[in-house]
Chains A and B, each alone.
Chain A
Amino acid sequence: MTTTYAVLSEGLEKSFGKVHAVRGLDLAVAEGSVCGLLGPNGAGKTTVVRLLTTLLRPDAGSARIAGHDLVRDAAAVRRRIGVTGQYASVDGDLTGRENLRLFARLHRVRGPAARADELLDRFGLAEAADRPASTYSGGMRRRLDLAASLVERPEVLFLDEPTTGLDPAARNQIWAAVRGLRDEGTTVLLTTQYLEEADRLADEIALVEHGRVAQSGTPAQLKALIGSYAEVVVADADALLGAAGVLDQLTGSEPVLDRDRLTVGAVTTDPTVTLPRLVRELDAAGVALLDASLRPPTLDDVFLRLTERKELAV
């Protein structure tokens, strides 16, 4: 079985003056999957989305979206994509209904009014349909933006930081919508600063750093690569070394001791290291324990580790 890629880019480059925003980006997103572009602010995620949605022209490299060349056949690409981001917004002066009807009309959807009503219902905006979009809450506005990207059921949907600045309830609604779209077979490429978001939504995560993909894989693969961080707080300084010994044996990585806070921490990539096991083994070794935690990696850890590894490689 061969995989068909909805997004396939090779060596994409884009500079703004002296700023080299995207430096040789290779990306492959399988049809019908959700790909999360994960990276900190300034990593070039937004520029990548702007390139892949025809808003910017690449300086070098090539990409095919839904089988069409990004540069030579931009019009065909535009017919097959939907875009939602802070910079690609609906018209705040129009009502939700007017916005959706306008975009449906521009997409040559048959029965634009009916399609608008359908989307308003689906995204819980029916009651607010006749209010100007500028009066919507952040979550409603984001849902309207998303609905506007879906008037013509795009093959590839681009979401640039779809939940940044939203409260948890609004965020969950967007997540549910993205999952629904994936279930319908839409390919989704989303950018995010939140590891949790990429973890919950993406089939595949591409870590973006300095305008290129630093690492990619499934969430499980990446987490295994980065590992969790086990940290214990002991009762007194005498217990530090004992705890360090246990952690060393358990995780196989060198423990970090903090004598002021009385903590010992270590990275583990072993999935059999669980919190109960950690506590049991420390207890068996007679370590006087005050607190123990097994923290999944944060985005900071991910990038810290990536940079560390690169320095080692050099």
Chain B
Amino acid sequence: MSTVGYDLAYDGTAMLGRQLRRIRHNPGLLILTQSMPITMLLFFGYVFGSALAMPGEEYRAFLVPGLLVATAANGLMTGMFQAAQDTHRGVTDRLRTLPISRAAVPLGQALADLVVTAAGTVPVLLVGLAVGWRIKGSALQAVGAVGLLLLFRFAMTWIGILLGLASKSEEAAGQLGGATFVLPLLSNAYIPTDGLPGWLRTLAEWNPISAVTTAMRYLFGNASVPASGAWPVTHPVAGALAWCAVLVAVFLPLAVRRYADGER
């Protein structure tokens, strides 16, 4: 391995360790964010589900992949909070005076977030199984679904890191973070999009959350691929991968550059 690659791996691992240790000291936020999808699954599944045309069990099975993806989209919020906190409490600046790889700090943050997300997915899936959701596709497809979910989380986290590094204050980041809850509402995560008015349906179907959700439903065997609609939902696996690739290709370099330059 090249020196640059070795340094990045070494420093990135050290930063990953830092983030995991922080979570161990301060598990409150983690417990809250990880219990959200379970609460929403039960609330939406039993309260809203009873008002929908779809039978309850069928809606809950529909909901499990949607909630997982909506939670993964929160990577934007948590990535932003974390980066804003480090930036405005002086941690980022101290790290920037160290002779370490410029990409290591944001990479460590994104990887730690992935570890936590992967662990947090397990209880959601277990509760899902308890309320009627099933894996109906192959094991390989199911593994692919989880992989896709983590890739999407990784992509969203980099948007968050960039916004957090560029934020004016922790409060500003908090307010912006609060606004991200609308993102999954404008998608097929909680409701099918075919009932929406034309322009709104197009908007929702081009939302990356919709492509990833549709791909998850397909890979878990919970729903077939829609016959009509925008390209990303009629070709969900390719659409989801393309979305993730575009987001990572754009936001990862921007975030690393922003970290390296600061306000230079």
Contacts and interface: CB of A to CB of B under 8 A. Distances in A.
B143 to A, nearest CB: 34
Contacts, number: 65
Contacts of B91: 89-91
B183 to A, nearest CB: 27
Nearest to B22: A93
A94 B22 CA distance: 6
Interface residues of A, number: 29
A276 B11 CA distance: 63
Contact of B96 (A55, A79, A86): A55
A92 B89 contact: yes
Contacts of A92: 89
B96 A91 contact: no
Interface in A79-136: 79, 81, 83, 85-95, 98, 102-103, 105-107, 132
A83 B99 CA distance: 12
Given A56-B264, A93-B26, A94-B25, A87 B93 contact: yes
Given A102-B14, A106-B14, A88 B97 contact: yes
B257 to A, nearest CB: 13
Contacts of A132: 25
Interface string B84-100: 00100111011111111
A54 B264 CA distance: 9
A71 B39 CA distance: 52
Contacts of B21: 94, 98
A55 B97 contact: yes
A94 B94 contact: no
B18 interface: yes
A55 B262 contact: yes
A12 interface: no
A153 interface: no
Contacts of B14: 102, 105-106
A91 B85 CA distance: 10
B93 A75 contact: no
B146 to A, nearest CB: 29
A56 B262 CA distance: 8
A254 B134 CA distance: 95
B262 A88 contact: no
B132 interface: no
Contacts of A103: 98
A210 interface: no
Contacts of B96: 54-55
A103 to B, nearest CB: 7
Given A56-B263, A75-B99, A106-B11, 12 more contacts: A54-B97, A78-B97, A83-B97, A86-B90, A89-B94, A91-B22, A91-B86, A94-B22, A103-B98, A105-B14, A106-B100, A107-B99
16 contacts: A55-B93, A56-B264, A87-B90, A89-B90, A89-B91, A89-B94, A92-B89, A94-B21, A94-B25, A95-B25, A98-B21, A102-B14, A102-B17, A103-B98, A106-B100, A107-B99
The 4 A-B pairs at the shortest CB distance, nearest first, are namely A89-B90, A88-B94, A57-B264, A78-B99
